[in-house]
Structure 1
Amino acid sequence: MPVLSISPFFLLILLFSFFLTHLPNPNATAVAAPADFLKLPLLHKPPFSSPSQSLSSDTHRLSLLFSRPNPTLKSPLISGASTGSGQYFVDIRLGTPPQSLLLVADTGSDLVWVKCSACRNCSHHPPSSAFLPRHSSSFSPFHCFDPHCRLLPHAPHHLCNHTRLHSPCRFLYSYADGSLSSGFFSKETTTLKSLSGSEIHLKGLSFGCGFRISGPSVSGAQFNGARGVMGLGRGSISFSSQLGRRFGNKFSYCLMDYTLSPPPTSFLMIGGGLHSLPLTNATKISYTPLQINPLSPTFYYITIHSITIDGVKLPINPAVWEIDEQGNGGTVVDSGTTLTYLTKTAYEEVLKSVRRRVKLPNAAELTPGFDLCVNASGESRRPSLPRLRFRLGGGAVFAPPPRNYFLETEEGVMCLAIRAVESGNGFSVIGNLMQQGFLLEFDKEESRLGFTRRGCGLP
């Protein structure tokens, strides 16, 4: 989550995706919305108190990822790093009158859900950390036999009380590490405050009102500061899909470097697209096709053809990036994972090449969890580090600056913030640290991912 560094996390099991359709929620409508988009701030707090927190949160996140079961809104995104989370948060107001809640912005899951006041095992959270449905005049759980209930993975019709006329729709999501969220699948009025200061009201947003929340993925340190998850995946119940018909079936975001002072504003934009921003004609926008993995349709897959370091192409067999017949492999862009994870064969080549080319001395000792750390204390300016480039499908080239893959774990010590995928059938993950400073557009209509280094600093 998290957006954790994991981001952006909270992945449902593989079969979760089989039961999701691709129809936007007809009940989610915008009232007094801008003509073509919603732009919301993404909230990002200070960095991890220790690098081990980003690694531990990623570990939980990846355990979930690898167990698969024309208008616009622009909103702030907040980082949760100061709370022990590497996530980015969206501040939404749920109910009538509205209650303010921070949700992890997560491209790696579909469900929108919040902790609700009746949560039986949330005693360690203060009352203010939960949504209070009894205080909202617009809260309404779906009926067990409502068509929206059938959009849930494993639609739990066995939980329906066939003797009661108004039996509510119950959801139960379990995760690979034993974490779970369960409660009533409901609809509610939502208020979003855009970066311009205007408020947007959405009626009939489908979400899970969680009465039972347990496990490290949804209640551990990586989740600190969050009240739930805003799923932005490709499934029909995600936030972006529910608003899709109204806002053009696309969304974009910019994750800014939270180490800068003062921290620049990150944002999430639903609809509009890159053409809605005042970019110059000289702005280069690159596009790469989004792949569809039938066995994991929630995720945003891209194709990596090759990696170069300082202009030298690494000897990596292209087959290591492919999705096999069992749905394993491939590369996912995930806002809820902090670090970047590469399939082991590719990671070993990257590590070997970076180690050979780095000009700085090794750190006195490795920071736990990292394989390469250098001593940059003698550098008066930003140190010179090897340059990494990914050649993607469609001819696009993703060339992040070194600060996106070298993390300062303590004063004067910088470590390579790329890890190996330990799971034999896992996929590679481009995490939110690697994405910082880029404006990314997820265009589901055209099935493509657009990105540019321009536009992030715009108000």
Structure 2
Amino acid sequence: MGTKSIAIFFSLLFFSLSTSLSQPLQFQTLFLQSLPKPQSLSWTDSETLTAESDSETTLSVQLHHRDSLSFNATPERLFHLRLQRDAARVKTLSSAVYGNTTAGRDFSSSIISGLAQGSGEYFTRLGIGTPPKYSYMVLDTGSDVVWIQCSPCRKCYSQTDPVFDPTKSKSFLGVSCGSLLCRRLDSPGCNNRRMCLYQVSYGDGSFTFGDFSTETLTFRSTRVPNVALGCGHDNEGLFVGAAGLLGLGRGKLSFPTQTGRRFGGKFSYCLVDRSASSKPSSVVFGDSAVSRTALFTPLLTNPKLDTFYYVGLTGISVGGVRVRGITPSLFKLDNTGNGGVIIDSGTSVTRLTRPAYIALRDAFRAGASGLKRGPEFSLFDTCFDLSGKTEVKVPTVVMHFVGTDVSLPASNYLIPVDSSGSFCFAFAGTMSGLSIIGNIQQQGFRVVYDLAGSRIGFAPRGCA
């Protein structure tokens, strides 16, 4: 290459670099809202409905945030409790992945109860048994086994409705020890009548133990028979008010897997931003769960654990520019089941591996340098004092997945933490290799779980 060619090459290189460096960042408007106040519940129990169907291939139910059951707490107190639960939740998920959970404990060992940290953030109301008795149930994408509290109680926590009595249901049926259904449990047991026992212990010390059975569940006017569930006589840890848990995980005993033939292995939810809308969130099962505007990324499989929904995150952009230092290798799910990124409905704040978080945080700080910084708050180390303002411009944030990009609304990453105008960047770092995409970042999207197609989709403005 001659001297003239070299000069031209470096001139073009300098022009290219200076152009990319001078490219203006992309911004969007954040309309400032206060911390949400608890919204009152308005349920119409389907016990008043006479028409019931057990052949419908689609069902839709309302979801409510657990704060709806806290009428006397201030928004600040509720937010503080939410962050406490979040820390416990992340610890539980990480321990499940990295083998520190007690979920596989055999029945001969004693169960040591820990603090009742509370599981799940969203719940619905459904009927259990025949005739249906209506109760609140937590919905959780990070759990598989469906279970309810049952009488007689050896130990039950307080719930809003009467504890379910299986002797008063015409559709309740115990499962025998030798059945295929019983063998699907991670840790099955037997009583002296050769009937199946189940046990689920969570990483925070909460647990449920009792008889494994099948029962009919009624969602509004849609009846779903023969759902395998745990009838728990010894329980601790679910939040006060809810009777049990509807596991929406990917495992073989979760509700979506059990009802795969009827609902096509598809469900979706849309979680509203409670600071901006009084509408309830919703969950849909069946073909109508798949939004036509959804953008999909393939589901990945953890060879060690089938409960969680893993996706391929390849990078993140701030202000329209890819963040240097955030590479696919930081989110890789390896052959031993370590690392990776999961979508979780029960985690609030998205956790990223520490190097990825630091790179993202620094890029956002640089892009938001025009905003007045505020003190750190709880797990948030990037906060702003926006008091006296009604709207501000913030750099855009886009999450890049395998096959698609998801552009977050400003309210999904800069959130109020008090009623005085303090807002914080709603991501956090984790020393665990597991990254978790939480429900704050999912707000307003219809998140589609297509187990049959082995993919997850995101449809913006999906709560309409």
Normalising by the residue count of structure 2, what TM-score does the alignment of the two structures yield?
0.78
Distance of aligned partners of 1:146 and 1:431 in 2 relative to their CA distance in 1, 3 Å threshold: same
The 10-residue stretch of structure 1 (176-185 or 432-441) with the greater mean CA deviation from structure 2:
176-185
Amino acid at match of 1:432: N
User: What letter matches 2:195 in structure 1?
Assistant: P
Query: Is 1:168 aligned with 2:195?
Result: yes
Post-superposition offset of 1:185: 0.8
Check if 1:397 corresponds to 2:412.
Answer: no
Instruction: Give the aligned partner of residue 267 of structure 1.
Output: 282
Contact kept, 8 Å, 2:89 with 2:119, in 1: the verdict is no
Q: How far 1:321 sits from its partner (Å)?
A: 0.7
Task: Name the structure 2 match of 1:242.
Answer: 258
TM-superposed CA distance for 1:305, in Å, is 0.8
Cα deviation code 1:107-166 (max 9, x no counterpart): 1111111122223222x515835322233232222122222111111233xx443xxxx4
Q: Are 2:438 and 1:428 aligned?
A: no
Q: Is the 8 A contact 2:119 2:346 kept in 1?
A: no
Number of matched pairs = 384
Q: SS of the counterpart of 2:231? A: strand
Distance 1:436 1:126, change over 3 A: closer
| Distance 1:48-1:334 versus aligned 2 partners, 3 A rule | farther
Which one-letter code corresponds to 1:360 in the other structure? L
1:182 to 209, 226, 229: 209
Residue 375 of structure 1 is aligned with which of 362, 379, 385? Answer: 385
Per-residue CA deviation, residues 256-289 of structure 1 (Å, 9 max, x unaligned), is 111234x1131111111455x6x6xxxx431111
Conserved? CA contact 1:183–1:209, under 8 Å = yes
**Deviation of the 1:96 alpha carbon:** 1.8
The equivalent position to 2:173 in structure 1, one of 140, 146, 149, is: 140
Alignment of 1:431-442 (within 5 A): 431-442=438-449
CA deviations over 1:82-121 (Å, ceiling 9, x no partner): x998711121110122111111111111111112222322
Partner of 2:354: 344
Q: Work out the CA distance in 2 between the residues paired with 1:121 and 1:133.
A: 16
Tell me the CA shift for residue 400 of structure 1.
1.1
Q: Which amino acid aligns with 1:255?
A: L
Q: CA RMSD, aligned part only?
A: 2.2
Q: Distance in 2 between matches of 1:48 and 1:335?
A: 22
State whether residues 142 and 344 of structure 2, in contact with CA within 8 Å, keep that contact through their aligned partners in structure 1: yes
Asked if the contact 2:314/2:331 (under 8 Å) is kept, the reply is: yes
Tell me the residue number matched to 1:449: 456
User: What is aligned with 2:92?
Assistant: 64
Q: Which residue in the other structure is 1:206 paired with?
A: 228
The CA distance in 2 between the partners of 1:333 and 1:301, in whole Å, is: 7
In structure 1, how many angstroms separate the alpha carbons of the residues matched to 2:393 and 2:130?
53
Conserved 8 A contact 1:54-1:85? no
Q: Give the residue type in structure 2 aligned to 1:449.
A: I
Q: 1:152 aligns with which of 168, 174, 185?
A: 185
Does the 8 Å CA contact 2:266/2:289 hold for their aligned counterparts? Answer: no
Partner-residue secondary structure (3-state), 2:126: strand
One-letter amino acid matched to 1:119:
C
Provide the residue aligned with 1:297 in structure 2: 306
Identity level (%):
38
> Residue 91 of structure 1 aligns with which residue?
125
Amino acid at match of 2:258: Q
Taking a change above 3 Å as real, the CA distance of residues 63 and 455 of structure 1, as seen in their structure-2 partners, is: closer
Normalised by the length of structure 1, the TM-score is: 0.79
**Is residue 366 from structure 1 mapped to residue 376 from structure 2 by the alignment?**
yes
Check conservation: 2:54, 2:225, Cα contact below 8 A. no
State how far apart, in whole Å, the 2-side matches of 1:213 and 1:85 are.
Answer: 13
Aligned to 1:51: 79
CA contact (8 A) 1:85 1:224 kept: no
**Is this contact kept in 2: 1:50–1:409, CA < 8 A?**
no
CA distance in 1, matches of 2:441, 2:357: 15
The structure 1 segments of at least 4 consecutive aligned residues displaced by more than 6 Å after TM superposition are 83-86
Residues of 1 paired with 2:175 and 2:399: CA distance? 45
Q: Which runs of 5+ in 1 are unaligned?
A: 1-30, 70-82, 194-198
Choose from 422, 425, 434 the match for 1:413: 422
Shift of 1:421: 1.5
User: Once the 2 structures are TM-superposed, how far is the Cα of residue 236 of structure 1 from its aligned partner?
Assistant: 1.6
CA contact (8 A) 1:385 1:402 kept: yes
Q: Does structure 1 retain, via aligned residues, the 8 Å contact 2:161–2:241?
A: no
> What displacement does 1:52 show?
2.4
Question: Secondary structure of 1:384's partner?
Answer: strand
CA displacement, residues 281-325 of structure 1 (integer Å, 9 cap, x when unaligned): xxx431111111111211111101111100121122321110123
- Hey, what's the Cα distance between the residues in 1 that align with 2:252 and 2:362? 42
SS of the aligned residue for 2:177 comes to coil
Matched position secondary structure for 2:161: helix
Does the C-alpha gap of structure 1 residues 86 and 149 become closer, same or farther in structure 2, counting only changes over 3 Å? closer
